[in-house]
Chain A
Amino acid sequence: MAPKKNSAKRPQPSTPKPSAPARIVKVQSSDGHILQADVRALLLSSTLAATIKGYDDENKPLEKLEVNNVVGFTLKLVLEWCEKHKEDDPAIAQAEKDKKNIFIPSWDRHFLTKLPMGNLFDLITAAYHLDITGLINYGCKTVANSAKGKSTEEMRELFGIPEPWEQPSTSTATWDD
C-alpha cells in the first residue's frame, strides 16, 4: 500500500489570510540606502500609510518612499519587523497601547533582545517617527524588562549614562548631589 500523502491532514500553525500579490516598493533611508518592502508591511506605519494613500488617491505611481529621519541600518530593522507583522490585525496593537502588561511574542522577544541597547533605542525612535504602534509597544516593554531589578549603577551601565562624577554639572546631578 502506498504511503498516504500527509499534506492534507497536517495541522497548520495559523491560517494565513488570503492576500493579494505583494506590491513591492523602494524605501530610501536618510543616509541614502535603498531597501525594498511589501506595501502591506509599510502600512503598519501610520505615517507611511498616509503617504501611500496619497499616491493611490491621486493614481500616481509609487516608485520610492523617502524616510528622512531614519538611517539605513535602523530602517532595515524596521522593515524586517514590519514584514514579520504585515498580516497582523492593527487593532491588536492599538488595544495594547495603554496596557501596563503586554505579552511579547517569542519572535519579537528574540528580535529585540539580540539588539545592543543603542540600536534598540534607534529602532524605537524610528518606530515613533513612523508611528508603528506595535513596534513601539514591544520595544518599550523590552527596554523596561531589561531595567527591572537593576541597581542604579547597573542601569547607568545598561543605558550608557556616565557615573555622577563623570556627568556634566548642568544636567546630571543625582538625587544625593
Chain B
Amino acid sequence: MSSIIEMPELVLETIIGFLNFQAVYTLRQVCKDFRSFIDDLKKSKLPDSKFKKIHIFLKNEETIRLTFIWSFGSEIEIERYFEKEKPGFFDLISQGMCLKYFENNKNCSEKEDLEFYISSPDFELSHLTSTHFEERESLSTAWGAPFECQYSRFWFFQMKNSKILKITYQCVVFKVQIWFTCIEIGNVPQGAIIQD
C-alpha cells in the first residue's frame, strides 16, 4: 500500500493545489519531506494565502509567534518552540513560508474558492518584532546597503506583481521592529535602490 509521501510529485502538487492555505501550512508541519516539498514548490502551485497581514513576533530565544490576519477579521496564531536551535531571522524569512506569501498568487481565482470570503488577496503589511535581535549587520550583508532616513533603515525589492516590497527596520528601546509593506513604485524615495 502506498504512503502519501511516496506518491509522484505531480500527484502531490495536484493535491496541494486543492488545499487552502491553512491546510498547506499544517501539512508542512507534518514531516520534513512535506516541508521540503512544499518549500520547493513554485509559488504559483501554492494556494493563495488571502491574508492581509502577518505578524511575526520573536517572543524570546525559544519561541516565535506567527499571527496570520485576514481582512474579515479572522486570524490564526501559531506559536512554535525551538528547543534545539533558535531560528535566525533569515531562516524564518528565506526558508519559511512567509516570504512565499508576501507575493500572493494573482492567478488564483478568488471567486472559485469558497473557503474564504475575502475579495482582495493583497497583503498590506507584515510586522516582525524581536526582543532578541542579533542579526542587524546580517541584514546589510543579505540585502545590501540600506536607504537610511532619520532613525530607520529601508530596503526595497521588486515584486512580481509590479509592486515594491518595502522593508523598514527600526530599533526601538529594547526591541527591533521590522515592517514589510507592499507599496507602489512611485512611493519609493529618490535615491533608494530597488533590488530584484
Residues of A within 8 A of B (CB): 98-102, 117-119, 121-122, 124-125, 128, 136-137, 140-141, 143-145, 147-152, 155-156, 159-161, 164, 167, 171-177
Query: B26 contacts A175, CB within 8 Å?
Result: no
Closest 8 CB pairs of A and B: A144-B18, A118-B1, A121-B2, A140-B14, A152-B29, A140-B15, A159-B4, A101-B112
A-B contacts, CB under 8 A, total:
113
Q: Look across to chain B and name the residue whose beta carbon is closest to the beta carbon of A129.
A: B8
Question: Which residue in B18, B26, B80, B109 is a CB contact (below 8 Å) of A141?
Answer: B18
Query: B23 contacts A147, CB within 8 Å?
Result: yes
Q: Chain A residues with Cβ under 8 A from B114's Cβ?
A: 101
Query: B35 contacts A174, CB within 8 Å?
Result: yes
Query: A128 contacts B3, CB within 8 Å?
Result: no
CA distance A145 to B18 in the complex (A): 8
Query: B2 contacts A118, CB within 8 Å?
Result: yes
Can you name 11 A-B pairs with beta carbons within 8 Å? A100-B47, A101-B114, A102-B18, A119-B1, A128-B10, A144-B18, A159-B3, A159-B5, A160-B3, A161-B5, A176-B83
Query: B84 contacts A177, CB within 8 Å?
Result: yes
Residues of B within 8 A of A (CB): 1-8, 10-11, 14-20, 23, 26-33, 35, 47, 80-84, 108-109, 112-115
Nearest-Cβ distance from residue B89 to partner chain A, whole angstroms: 16
Q: Chain B residues with Cβ under 8 A from A160's Cβ?
A: 3-4
Q: Look across to chain B and name the residue whose beta carbon is closest to the beta carbon of A167.
A: B31
CA distance A100 to B45 in the complex (A): 10
A100-B47, A176-B80 known; A152+B26 contact, CB < 8 A: yes
Which of A137, A164, A174 has its CB near the most chain B CB atoms (within 10 A)?
A174
